[in-house]
Amino acid sequence: MSSNRVCPQALQATEEWCETVAKSCPPKDRPWYHVLVHGSVHSTYVAEQNLEPDDSADPIKQPMLEHFFSKFDNGKYVRSDPVN
Asked if residue 6 is part of any domain, the answer here is no
Look at residue 25 in the predicted model and tell me its pLDDT. 60
Q: Tell me the whole-structure pTM to 2 decimals.
A: 0.61
In a domain, 39, yes or no: yes
Determine, yes or no, domain membership for 3: no
Q: Is residue 8 part of a domain?
A: no
Q: How many domains does the structure of the chain reveal?
A: 1
- Concatenating the DSSP letter of every residue in 2-49 gives --SB---TTTT--HHHHHHT-TTPPBTTS-EEEEEPTTSS-EEEEEGG
Q: For 52-71, what is the mean pLDDT?
A: 91
Q: Give the mean pLDDT of 7-34.
A: 63
In a domain? residue 84: no
Q: What is the pLDDT of residue 20?
A: 64
- Confidence band for 10, pLDDT divided at 50, 70 and 90: very low
Tell me whether residue 61 is in a domain: yes
Query: Which residue segment(s) compose the domain that 25 sits in?
Result: 15-79
- Evaluate whether residue 7 is within a structural domain: no
> How confident is the model over 36-56, as pLDDT tens digits?
999 999 998 888 888 898 888
